[in-house]
Structure formats: C-alpha cells, structure tokens
Amino acid sequence: MNIHTVQKVPSDYLQNVWCAGRLIVKVGRWILTEFLYFVCGITIFLICWGWVAHSGFFSIDSFFTAGTFFPPFWIFILSLFSALGLLIKKEFKIALGLILSSALLMAFFEDYSLKPLLKKEEKISEGTKFSVLALNVQYYVQGLERVTSILKTLDADILLLSENILNSDEKKFLKSELFPFSVYIGPREGTAIVSRFPVVDVRDIELPTYAPSLSGFNKIEEQPYFPKRSFIHAVVDVKGTLVHVIAIRFIAGRGESHMLWDQLIWGRYLWENQVKEVMFFQNYLAELKGPIIFGGDLNAPPTSTTIRSLSRVAKDAYLTHHVWGAFTFRTEVLPTLRLDYVFFNKDLVSVSSEIVKLYVSDHHGVYAKFLISKGL
C-alpha cells in the first residue's frame, strides 16, 4: 500500500504571501485613487476653461478662447466617468458638482439648435433650386476612379472638395470623368469647385498662413519655407443669378511627433493660425455682395470660436433643419466630430440638408439644397 505524505507549508511562508498580497492590493488602490483624482482634476480644469472660453469676455485671438475647441459633450462624458469613480469613493457632493457643471456647459454651448422645432412648416416659394455637396476626399486614398464614380451618382449641382491632391494626369482624368461639369482646382491647397452651371469668374485667394504637410510630420520652424495656404472662389451663374461659391479648408496637420508635448505645441500653433485665417476670411466675405455659399472641411468643431464667428455672418445649413449637429469626421471605430459644413447667407433660402455617408475618405459629406427667390 502506497502511503502519500503531505508536506506542510511553513506558516511563515503563508504569512509572507498574505502580507505581500495585502501590500499589492493596497498599492493598487492607492494608484487607482491617485489616478481618479488626477482625472477629476483634468475634468474640473476643462469645465472651468470651457466656461471661461465661452463667456464672451475674451477676443477670438485670446488663448482663453482656445478652450472652445473642446466640445462640451466630450467634457460631459469625461465628467460621468469621473463622477462614477467619486461615487465609489463616496464623494457624492463632488460627483454631483461635476455632473451638473458639465451638463450646464453642454446645455448652453453644445452643437444644437431649437429653431427647427420652433419653425413652422412653410411652403417653399418659387425660384431656382440647386444643390451643394461639401466633401473631404482625403487625397483619393480610396482610389480616384471609385471616388469620381460615386460623386457622379450624387447628382449635386456644385461640389466643394477638400484635400483634392492630384498630379497633372489625375487632374485631367478627374475633369474628363466629371464632364460636362466644370472643374476648378486650387493650385496649392487641394480645394476644388465642380459646377454644373457656367462659371463666369474664378480666383485662388491666398491666406496669411503656410501650408503644412497633410500626410507627414511638421516642424513649426520649417513652416515659413512652405507655400502660403489658399482657398478657391468662383462666381457661378445659376440660371441667371450670380452666386459666390467658395471651397475652403482651414489649417490642420500633424505635429513634429506623437509625443504629448509636441502635440500641445503644434495644437497651439494650429489654433493661432486658424484664428488668422478665419479673421481674414470674415473680412473677405464682408466685401462680397449677393448670394454666398461656402464650405468644406473647416477642421474645427461647431462649438469653437472659429465656427461660432462664421455663424454670425452666415447660416449653418445642417443646423437649419436639424436639432443636433451630426458627426462628419470618422475614426476607425466611429465618427467623433463635426468638422465639415456648408454655410449660406441671407440672400438664399435653405430647403434641406443632410449628412451623406459615402465612405470614400475619413469624412462624411454635407449635402444641402438651396433656393434663389424669384425677386433676387
């Protein structure tokens, strides 16, 4: 008969294991607690910065207004996660304060409009109707033939294209594929206007900023060696009415590296230069007379001072018909931001607008229909 002996584990060994386990748990709890308070600190800072940025006390070029580039919805989501951790720690008052302050920030300044709910149904008066599509084609990463074939199926009268980066042969192909539409491509920035209607004048307008690389990393000190940025402005004859049509893309690009500090420095550079661009563009628009359409990938969320300042001189076509702004910029997982717009001035009537999910780039398109009243 086999006799199995069980070797006893020394009690000192078990005690050491128990003490080590308790130490690991204690250190883990301390790390989680410190991380929670760190996230809460970031959340409180963003909430305070958001209120200051949206207060209206500072000019568009003040650094305080840079906080408007953080959408209140993002801050609210961050505050929910922070509040959940605080509730576990039984910090009820701080958790409630975070949720309420971020919820109020979102209620006052988020991307929504109550006008579509209050607007009475009205008959569209007689006049000339035309449609516009704004789309970032992301330098045709999905293939030039595929993108052009999809554009032809949309039946839009005017296309406002961004990141329309093509060589000479590709430009010829694009023009031949979209014929009989007229295609006008900006020489430097990749903006383009495609029109079903005759174009009586077209010009490339230089912006006061430099054009960073769209696909590679950028160093701030090297930017003056790059060409100036620009947008394209066409005067289109829409069945007898001259309409100013502008395809514009505000500055964006990648920083020197993925390091956090480099990203922060580059982010400030982009913000400062985008402010210069929007101020220049507003002055340019003020000189134009008659119906105006402009749009494209503006690289700024609707809560930013960039877009809010444009909303004072023109109307956002999408928000004219929808309560909530819809995301247009896509990541690999899901859309996260609204960066693409079509704006119009008081000389036009917006008939409808929608986000068109084309999946030809990392942006969705913005489609809008307009009416030129008979009396204009």
SS3 per-residue string spanning the chain: CCCCCCCCCCHHHHHHHHHHHHHHHHHHHHHHHHHHHHHHHHHHHHHHHHHHHCCCCCCCCCHHHHHHHCCHHHHHHHHHHHHHHHHHCCCHHHHHHHHHHHHHHHHHHCCECCHHHHCCCCCCCCEEEEEEEEEECHHHCCCHHHHHHHHHHCCCCEEEEECCCCCHHHHHHHHHHHCCCEEEECCCCCCEEEECCCEEEEEEEEEEEECCCCCCECCHHHHHHCCEEEEEEEEEEECCEEEEEEECCCCCCECCCCCHHHHHHHHHHHHHHHHHHHHHHHHHHHCCCCCEEEEEECCCCCCCHHHHHHHCCCEEHHHHHCCECCCCEECCCCEEECCEEEEECCCCEEEEEEEECCCCCCECEEEEEEEEECCC
What whole-number percentage of the chain has pLDDT above 90? 59
Condensed to tens digits (0 to 9), the pLDDT of residues 41-97 reads: 999 999 999 999 998 888 888 888 989 998 999 999 999 999 998 898 888 998 999
For residue 225, what pLDDT is reported? 87
Tokens of 323: 């309560």
Examine the pLDDT at 13 and tell me if it is beyond 70.
no
324, burial (CB in 10 Å: exposed 0-12, middle 13-18, buried 19+): middle
Condensed to tens digits (0 to 9), the pLDDT of residues 232-288 reads: 999 999 999 999 999 999 999 888 888 888 888 988 999 999 999 999 999 999 999
Q: What is the mean pLDDT of the chain?
A: 88
Once rounded to an integer, what is the mean pLDDT over residues 336-361? 93
**Domain boundaries 115-373, CATH class:** alpha beta
Q: Which of 30-39, 187-196, 210-219, 287-296 has the highest mean pLDDT?
A: 287-296
Contacts of 211 (CB under 8 A, 6+ apart): 188, 189, 226, 227, 228, 229, 251
Q: State CA 118 to chain mean position distance.
A: 27
Domain ranges of the chain: 11-109, 115-373
Condensed to tens digits (0 to 9), the pLDDT of residues 90-135 reads: 889 989 999 999 999 999 999 999 888 877 666 666 778 999 999 9
Evaluate whether 99 touches 83 at the Cβ level (below 8 Å): yes
**Cα–Cα dist 197/180, whole Å:** 10
